[in-house]
Each structure stands twice: as structure tokens, then as C-alpha cells.
């Protein structure tokens, strides 16, 4: 049985809206079960549209009454369907009119966390992508932009909406947002909240009040997010010339939230996990996320809000660009090479995985059933890589000029990828039609390199191949920027970084080695070691026949830090694949690692990244790329063997690092201190695996911050400590965010054979609130993402457990259920037995009566041949 895939929407069918909106006025009479929303909307026929009926989106709304130009509508004057409301053109008074409506909605019954809902007594909204239609009847599409006035009536003390406050009294507040915006950027919050307040003065001299709103008791955990916000505001002024444009900027932290955060104009709403931090409760990694997500949402004010998307197919226009901007910001705020390596790790772990399976899609998709399913690693992370390539191709100066033109030309507009590329073509005179394939062809290109030397000449051959992906059997050659350098056999650089652009299936590039060596003041080399794809200049899989010996030279000497790390990474990957096939790790590799780890001239954060092993899923992916069927259980055991071997072989240098890198009693979340902890805790982990619990137990007892505490906790879990989980629980049971870590860590670090049983047990724990997305992700994601060997247990128990929970969650929160279903996207990698069991689980989900469009689309795509 093939599950039927839901109705699709196509980019090719885009039509401009029939009516535009000149102004919106909304009144909210808040009540948990029966909130009234009274709307007054000025419509005007779109000169670029086709006219006709007034069609408004609306879902789950009870219409109390409606009027046009003050004349009440009778039941025969409109048609209500599941999707919205229609007024026939003949009933409209002319080209411009005012629509008024009153609807009743049920925030308390809204478990999908989309539209207006309640979270612990606080009203809040989530409208992207199509949640506004659950609040009132409206043309809920991003190319309809309007200024909003909002009045909120409620007894709750804090009443917030977009824009500037214009009045407030007992039981009411009014807000005015002068900047035209699409409905997906609308937001409202009402609750018993307290503010961590500060201010910022823009380069234009505007004094902006800044507030981070949290529940009473959490106000002491906002300082870092505030600092990140102020730094983001300053950075956007310097790096992009963009200043903030309202008198107030509010951030609200919410416990029940489907994603990370949302860039609503002037009123960002955040998952509390990406706002609240104290040294005792948040890890260095949490601080890093807070910094980059605060930046990301703030940067949307220009890339997303002032210039928005014409339709949801253009999502990467705002998301890819905004991720690129937050990555630039983090690179400036911390270490650029470390940031680049982390971004590539993330890209490979999430986007390459997606691209290699049935969910592969274009950076700009061409069809969807449920747009929420396309907030993906491909749209976000690959979307950012595409902009990074553009940046590299045109250079920083032209990039800035193109962006200046983009903002000047498109401020207040809803745009497309064509508009975006046009500013680059105009500024640089380049033809970007081939480059545009990055937006319209899915799949990770494979780049292969080969070289030969003769008579002082080297010829480098670069070849590309783009694999077939669902719906795209044949691909054209793409524009691949390849940054490269050449080293001689001693590791001396004879060609400094150079950009080669591969825009055909194959190119051969000659290098005059004699001339290059002379220029570098070196003798003519006997052999050359190419350092290819420096800085990961394109999101491709590189196959290059660099020998192990040459990779050890790159690891020790490359001038490009990314490729230094990459050399170590590929050695480790190859070692692991070799061990899977019965081989062993070689001493030269350990020796090289030892030298690098002991090199105190290197950033400890960089050394920690070199020391980190590929994740189990990375190894499975690497196996798949080289045609080996991965066995998750064996991968887990092999990876553990290598960790223990590293602990033994590198024992003395790891012990030295552990002793030397203690940052002392006063915790700071900055990059320098975090780097020390990262390397020290990586050493602790390997030493615990090779030597036993003593050091980790002492580390746990001495920890004065969550980074150290969780490092010792997980190391102890890894060696089967049976009582540390109880101690952690007793200390933290009243802290929701810390308890998410408790659930997640135990399942992720369980022995694979015990993981499903433990997940089952923890899903019956009194603190397992499956209706809270963070907690659901902690437990179910702890298994699917945190413990792949447990999830892929040969019995199939993991698949059944996850399918049961996805079915249960789908009835309540389709968006999060669908998102988590991608745990199954890798099914084709595995052996026939596992494939059959995963397909059975998917079929069981597909057969559920009343399955959401979200989950039905995901399962249908994963199931498709
Ligand atoms: Zn975003």
C-alpha cells in the first residue's frame, strides 16, 4: 500500500494577490477558552492582480459577524470552508473597501502551538508560516504587507504586540507597527511577566528600549541574551549598515515552543532554552546557541522583515541569508576557523544526510503540501552556503555593494531569489544563470580531484558529478568555487590560497611548479600535496587521492586551519571505516594527534575539534558514501574502541591538558574560557573511558558550572555508572531546562542494548510531559539522534517505540511530530531487515486515520520509491 500524499502547492502556480491591504486594526479580548478577535481591514484591488472574489484564509475560526463598509453580511453573502471564507466579487462595493469581522477562538484548546495559544498561563502567538489564519480571516500570504494597529484587552499585567506602544490603561494596551509586514510576523503576548531591561542607541541616534520578558524567577538568567542582543545590533550597523527601526525591541521567552525562536517584528518570541542561562544551568554550548539565535532573529529585522519573501518557496531568501549573517557574526565574535569547522560539521550532519535520502529537495523547493516541513537544513544551512559561495566569488566589497542595492531597492517588498541574484548581477556584471542551479538542483555534488606531475609541471583535474535526487534524475554541472593551495612534501606552502572555479563537468588546471617554487623561495618539490577546498569553499563531497602520509603533513602544516582539521577528520574517518572492516588504528596517526594536542600555540577550541570523533551517524553516512552497509551497533562499538585506544595512546598528553586547562573558579561564557573547558572535558571523556571513573567523579563533585557537570555526567554514564543519574535528578528536578538534559543524556549515553528500554521507562517518568516539545525532543530525540545504535536495535523495538510516539504526538502537535519523523529518513542506508522494519513502521503511521497533512507528507516522501 502506498500512502496517498496530500495535495501539493507548486511554485509554478504563483499568482499575485487579488487584493492588497492598506491597514489592519485588530482588537483582542483575551480569554483562555473564548478569545474574541475583532478585525478591521482596509482592502484595495491589486493593480497587478486579476481582481475577482475576496478570498480570505481562516482555520478553526467561529465567525460571530462580518461587515463590508459597515454593512453587515448575511449568511448568503459569503461562503465558509475548512480553509477560509469567500465573498463573491459581485458582493463587493468596489475596488477599495473595509472588511470587519469578529471571530471566536480557543487558545487553551490550541495544542499545535500555532496561532494564539496558552503556555503556562501566558498567551502567545506563532504565526510563521501559516498560523495567522488561525487567529482571524486574512489573506495569509507573505506578499500581502500592511501596517498594523493592535488593541489587547486582558487583566494580565503585561500586554505586548508588534511596533511601538501607543497607549495603555487598566486592562488594555495599544500598539502601532508602522512598518508594513506580512501576517506571519504578527505577534501578541499577554502574561504575568517580568522584564530584564536595557537600552541601545542606534547609529542614527534612535534610543531603543530593550526588554527580555520572562516568568518571575527567571529574570536573573537574561543577562547573556541581552548582551548578545546589544552586540548584534551594533554588528549589523558596522557590517551591513543596518540600524534598528522602532523605539522598542522586546524578546519573550516561552516554555512551549515548536522551534528555536521567531523574528516577529519588534517582538521576538523565543523557546526559553535559547534565552535563559546561568553558569550553573547552561553549558558553554547553550551560551553559544543563545548568542547565535538572538543574533539570527535580530538580523531578520532587515533580512526577512523589511525585505520579505514573495511566497514560501522563497524561504531561503530570508533564512539562508540570515543564517549566513549569524554565522558571520559568530565568526567575528569568537574564532572564525572554529566557527567554520562547527558550521561544516553541522552542515554535513544534517544537510548532507538530508540530501542523501528521500527528503532531498532544492534550496528553493518547487512543491510542498505543508510548508512547515520545509524549514530544513537544506533551506537554512545549504541556503547559507550558497550565499557564502557568492560572497567568495564576488569578494567582500562587491558583496556589500550588492546588499546595499538589495536593501535600497527592495525595502518594504516581498521578493524572490531572482530579485536577490539580480542585485549581484548588476553590481558585478556577472551572469549568474548557471550559479542559480544551486537553488534549483538538489543533491550534494561530488567533486573528485586527480593530479600528475612531469617536468616541473603539475596538472590538476577537477571533475564534478551531481547525484540523482527524488524527481531530478539528470543534473547539469554547477559553479563550484574551489579554494586551494599547494604544499611541498615538507609541508611548506608553494602556492598560497587561490580560487579556481569549476563550471564544467571537468577542468584541467596547469601549475608551473618551477615558477611557484622559485617565488616561494623553495627548491623544486619532488612531490606536491594539494590542499583542496580550503575553508570548505563549496558544499560538496570531495574525493581526492591524498595519501595518509600526505594528510599527516596537511594536519601538521597546512596554513588553512579548516583543511588542517579536515585532514585529521578524514584520517579518523578512514581509521574508523578500516576498523569496521577489521583493521586497526595506526601509531603514526596517534603520534600526529599527540603533537597537535600538545601544541599550545593552537586555540584549545580548535584542538578539541581535532580530537572529536565523527558521530555515529557521521560514520554511517561515510560508510554509505563509500558503498558499505552500515551496522549501527558495530559502529557504536568500533567508535568506542577507538576512543579507548586514543585514551590509552594519548594518555599522558590528555592528562597534561586536563591538569593545565582548569579555567579556575570564576565562570565566564566567552570563547576563550569555553575553549579551555571544551578541550579539558574532551580529555576527561577519553581518560574516563580508558582509565575508569575516578577523575570524572571528582570532576562531577567539583563542578561549579553545567558545562563541567554535564561533561562528567555523560562520561560516567558512558562507563555505566549507576548512581550519577539519581544524584543529578535530585539536584535539578525543579529546573525544567536542566531536566531536559537529564532525560536526553541518559538515553543518549545508554548502552545501545538498553536504550529503548530506558527510553520507555523515562517516557513513563512523572516529569515526562510529552506535550512540551523540548521534553518530547529530549526523550524521543535522545534515542533517534542521541543513540543511533539503540534506535536501530536489531529487534526493531526502537522503530516501534518512536512510531507510537509520533502517532500520539501527531494528534496534538503535527508540526513537531512531522519534524521528528525525519529520524527515519536514512532507512535506505541499512540492511534489508532494518529497511523492512522501518518501512513497516512508516506504513503503520501512514495508515493512521486522521493523520495530519504534515506527517502524511513526510511519511509519503520517505516512503516513495
Ligand atoms: Zn530564521
- What phi and psi, each to the nearest 5 degrees, are found at residue 562? -60, -50
Q: What was the pLDDT predicted at 436?
A: 98
Q: How many A from CA of 774 to the centre of ligand 1?
A: 19
pTM above 0.95, yes or no: yes
pLDDT band at 49 (very low <50, low <70, confident <90, very high): confident
Which residues are the active-site residues?
A: 297
- What phi and psi, each to the nearest 5 degrees, are found at residue 277? -155, 135
* Strand ranges, E, within 377-454: 414-415, 446-454
**What CA–CA distance (Å, rounded) separates 632 from 795?**
13
Average of per-residue pLDDT values in the chain = 97
C-alpha cell at 525: 618539490
pLDDT band at 2 (very low <50, low <70, confident <90, very high): very low
Q: Per-residue pLDDT averaged across 71-80, rounded? A: 97
Q: What was the pLDDT predicted at 4?
A: 58
Q: Say yes or no to pLDDT of 50 above 90.
A: no
Q: How many A from CA of 727 to the centre of ligand 1?
A: 38
Q: Say yes or no to pLDDT of 3 above 50.
A: no
In angstroms, the first-to-last Cα distance of the chain is 12
Q: Which domains does the chain have, with CATH numbers?
A: 12-192 (2.60.40.1730), 308-440 (1.10.390.10), 447-538 (2.60.40.1840), 722-865 (1.25.50.10)
**What CA–CA distance (Å, rounded) separates 776 from 849?**
22
Q: Say yes or no to pLDDT of 248 above 90.
A: yes
Q: Say yes or no to pLDDT of 806 above 70.
A: yes
Q: Say yes or no to pLDDT of 1 above 60.
A: no
Q: What was the pLDDT predicted at 508?
A: 98
C-alpha cell at 729: 535528578
Q: Say yes or no to pLDDT of 798 above 60.
A: yes
For residue 588, what are the contacts with CB-CB under 8 A and spacing of at least 6? Answer: 548, 549, 552
- What phi and psi, each to the nearest 5 degrees, are found at residue 501? -110, 115
Q: How many A from CA of 129 to the centre of ligand 1?
A: 11
The closest alpha carbon to 698, from 673, 675, 666, 724, belongs to: 724
Q: Would you give the DSSP letter of residue 134? A: G
Burial class (CB in 10 A: 0-12, 13-18, 19+), 525: buried
Q: Say yes or no to pLDDT of 865 above 80.
A: no
Contact 437, 363 (CB under 8 A): no
**What CA–CA distance (Å, rounded) separates 643 from 636?**
11
Q: How many A from CA of 410 to the centre of ligand 1?
A: 19
Q: How many A from CA of 570 to the centre of ligand 1?
A: 32
Q: How many A from CA of 371 to the centre of ligand 1?
A: 14
Residue 35's beta-bridge partner residues?
A: 105
Q: What was the pLDDT predicted at 550?
A: 98
Write out the DSSP string of 536-581. G-SS-EEE----HHHHHHHHHH-SSHHHHHHHHHHHHHHHHHHHHT
Residue 250's beta-bridge partner residues?
A: 211, 267
Q: How many A from CA of 295 to the centre of ligand 1?
A: 10
* b/e code 110-145 from CB counts within 10 Å (16+ = b): bebbbbbbbbeebbbbbbbbbbbbbbbbbbbbbbbb
Q: Would you give the DSSP letter of residue 800? A: H
Q: Say yes or no to pLDDT of 507 above 60.
A: yes
Q: How many A from CA of 265 to the centre of ligand 1?
A: 13
Q: How many A from CA of 522 to the centre of ligand 1?
A: 48
The distance of Cα 6 from the centroid of its chain, to the nearest Å, equals: 26
Q: How many A from CA of 216 to the centre of ligand 1?
A: 28
Q: Collapse the DSSP code of 843 into the 3-class scheme (helix H, G, I; strand E, B; otherwise coil) and give the result.
A: helix
Count of C-beta atoms within a 10 Å radius of residue 430: 15
**What CA–CA distance (Å, rounded) separates 533 from 497?**
10
**What CA–CA distance (Å, rounded) separates 365 from 349?**
21
**pLDDT tens digit string along 318-374?**
999 999 999 999 999 999 999 999 999 999 999 999 999 999 999 999 999 999 999
Burial class (CB in 10 A: 0-12, 13-18, 19+), 742: buried
Q: Say yes or no to pLDDT of 116 above 70.
A: yes
Q: How many A from CA of 285 to the centre of ligand 1?
A: 19
Amino acid at each position: 500500500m502506498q500512502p496517498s500524499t496530500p495535495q501539493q502547492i507548486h511554485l509554478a502556480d504563483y499568482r499575485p494577490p487579488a487584493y492588497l491591504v492598506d491597514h489592519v486594526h485588530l482588537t483582542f479580548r483575551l480569554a483562555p477558552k473564548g478569545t474574541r478577535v475583532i478585525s478591521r481591514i482596509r482592502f484595495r484591488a491589486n493593480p497587478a492582480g486579476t481582481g475577482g472574489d475576496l478570498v480570505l484564509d481562516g482555520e478553526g475560526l467561529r465567525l460571530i459577524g462580518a461587515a463590508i463598509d459597515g454593512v453587515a453580511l448575511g449568511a448568503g453573502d459569503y461562503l465558509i470552508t475548512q480553509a477560509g471564507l469567500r465573498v463573491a466579487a459581485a458582493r463587493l462595493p468596489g475596488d477599495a473597501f473595509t472588511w470587519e469581522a469578529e471571530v471566536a477562538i480557543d487558545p487553551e484548546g490550541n495544542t499545535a502551538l500555532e496561532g494564539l495559544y496558552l503556555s503556562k498561563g501566558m498567551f502567545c502567538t506563532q504565526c510563521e508560516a501559516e498560523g495567522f489564519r488561525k487567529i482571524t480571516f486574512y489573506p495569509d500570504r507573505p506578499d500581502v504587507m500592511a501596517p498594523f494597529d493592535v488593541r489587547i484587552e486582558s487583566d494580565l499585567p503585561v500586554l505586548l504586540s508588534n511596533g511601538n506602544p501607543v497607549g495603555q490603561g487598566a486592562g488594555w494596551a495599544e500598539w502601532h507597527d508602522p512598518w508594513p509586514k506580512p501576517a506571519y510576523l504578527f505577534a501578541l503576548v499577554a502574561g504575568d511577566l517580568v522584564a530584564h531591561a536595557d537600552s541601545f542607541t542606534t547609529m542614527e541616534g534612535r534610543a531603543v528600549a530593550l526588554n527580555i520578558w520572562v516568568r518571575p524567577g527567571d529574570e536573573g538568567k537574561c543577562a547573556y541574551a541581552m548582551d548578545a542582543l546589544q552586540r548584534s545590533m551594533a554588528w549589523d550597523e558596522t557590517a551591513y549598515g543596518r540600524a534598528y527601526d522602532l523605539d522598542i525591541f522586546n524578546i519573550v521567552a516561552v516554555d512551549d515552543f515548536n522551534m528555536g525562536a521567531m523574528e516577529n517584528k519588534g517582538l521576538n518570541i523565543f523557546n526559553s532554552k535559547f534565552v535563559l542561562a546561568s553558569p550553573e544551568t547552561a553549558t558553554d554550548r547553550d551560551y553559544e546557541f543563545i548568542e547565535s539565535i538572538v543574533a539570527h532573529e535580530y538580523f531578520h529585522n532587515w533580512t526577512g522583515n523589511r525585505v520579505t519573501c514573495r511566497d514560501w518557496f522563497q524561504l531561503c531568501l530570508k533564512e539562508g541569508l540570515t543564517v549566513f549573517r549569524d554565522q558571520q557574526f559568530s565568526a567575528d565574535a569568537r574564532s572564525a576557523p572554529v566557527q567554520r569547522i562547527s558550521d561544516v560539521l553541522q552542515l554535513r550532519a544534517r544537510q548532507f544526510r538530508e540530501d542523501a535520502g528521500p527528503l532531498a529537495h532544492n534550496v528553493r523547493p518547487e512543491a510542498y503540501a505543508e510548508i512547515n516541513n520545509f524549514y530544513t537544513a537544506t533551506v537554512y544551512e545549504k541556503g547559507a552556503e550558497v550565499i557564502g559561495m557568492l560572497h567568495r566569488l564576488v569578494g567582500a566589497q562587491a558583496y556589500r555593494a550588492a546588499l546595499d542595492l538589495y536593501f535600497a531597492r527592495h525595502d518594504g517588498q516581498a521578493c524572490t531569489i531572482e530579485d536577490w541574484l539580480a542585485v549581484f548581477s548588476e553590481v558585478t556584471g556577472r551572469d549568474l544563470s548557471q550559479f542559480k542551479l544551486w537553488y534549483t538542483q538538489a543533491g550534494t555534488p561530488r567533486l573528485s580531484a586527480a593530479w600528475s606531475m612531469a617536468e616541473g609541471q603539475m596538472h590538476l583535474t577537477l571533475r564534478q558529478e551531481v547525484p540523482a535526487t527524488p524527481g531530478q534524475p539528470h543534473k547539469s554541472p554547477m559553479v563550484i568555487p574551489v579554494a586551494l593551495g599547494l604544499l611541498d612534501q615538507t609541508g611548506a606552502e608553494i602556492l598560497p590560497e587561490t580560487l579556481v572555479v569549476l563550471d564544467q563537468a571537468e577542468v584541467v588546471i596547469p601549475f608551473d611548479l618551477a615558477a611557484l617554487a622559485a617565488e616561494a623561495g623553495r627548491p623544486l618539490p619532488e612531490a606536491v600535496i594539494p590542499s583542496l577546498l580550503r575553508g570548505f569553499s563549496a558544499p560538496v563531497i570531495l574525493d581526492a587521492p591524498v595519501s595518509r602520509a600526505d594528510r599527516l603533513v596537511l594536519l601538521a602544516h597546512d596554513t588553512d586551519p579548516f583543511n588542517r582539521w579536515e585532514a585529521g577528520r578524514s584520517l579518523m574517518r578512514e581509521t574508523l571505516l578500516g576498523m569496521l572492516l577489521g583493521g586497526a588504528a595506526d601509531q603514526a596517526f596517534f603520534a600526529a594527534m599527540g603533537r597537535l594536542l600538545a601544541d599550545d600555540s593552537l586555540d584549545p577550541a580548535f584542538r578539541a575539534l581535532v580530537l572529536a570523533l565523527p558521530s555515529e551517524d557521521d560514520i554511517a553516512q561515510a560508510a554509505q558514501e563509500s558503498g558499505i552497509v552500515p551496522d549501527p551497533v558495530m559502529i557504536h562499538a568500533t567508535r568506542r574502541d577507538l576512543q579507548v585506544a586514543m585514551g590509552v595512546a594519548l594518555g599522558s598528553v590528555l592528562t597534561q591538558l586536563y591538569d593545565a586547562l582548569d579555567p579556575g573558579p570564576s565562570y565566564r561564557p566567552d570563547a576563550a574560557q569555553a575553549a579551555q573547558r571544551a578541550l579539558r572535558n574532551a580529555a576527561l571523556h577519553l581518560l574516563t573511558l580508558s582509565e575508569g571513573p575516578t577523575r570524572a567523579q571528582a570532576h562531577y563533585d567539583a563542578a561549579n558550572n553545567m558545562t563541567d557537570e554535564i561533561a562528567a555526567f555523560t562520561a560516567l554514564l558512558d562507563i555505566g555508572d549507576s548512581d550519577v543519574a539519581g544524584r543529578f535528578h535530585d539536584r535539578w528536578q525543579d529546573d525544567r531546562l536542566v531536566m531536559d538534559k537529564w532525560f536526553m543524556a541518559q538515553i543518549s549515553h545508554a548502552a545501545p542494548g538498553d536504550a529503548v528500554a530506558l527510553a520507555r521507562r523515562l517516557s513513563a517518568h512523572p516529569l515526562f510531559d510529552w506535550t512540551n516539545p523540548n521534553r518530547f525532543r529530549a526523550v524521543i530525540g535522545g534515542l533517534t539522534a542521541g543513540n543511533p545504535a539503540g534506535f536501530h536495535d536489531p529487534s526493531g523495538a526502537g522503530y516501534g517505540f518512536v512510531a507510537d510516539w509520533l502517532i500520539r504526538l501527531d494528534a496534538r502537535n503535527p508540526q513537531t511530530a512531522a519534524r521528528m519523523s525525519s529520524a527515519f529518513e536514512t532507512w535506505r542506508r541499512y540492511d534489508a531487515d532494518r529497511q523492512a522494519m522501518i518501512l513497516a513502521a512508516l506504513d503503520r503511521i501512514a495508515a493512521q486515520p486522521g493523520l495530519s497533512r504534515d506527517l502524511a507528507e513526510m511519511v509519503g516522501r520517505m516512503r516513495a520509491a
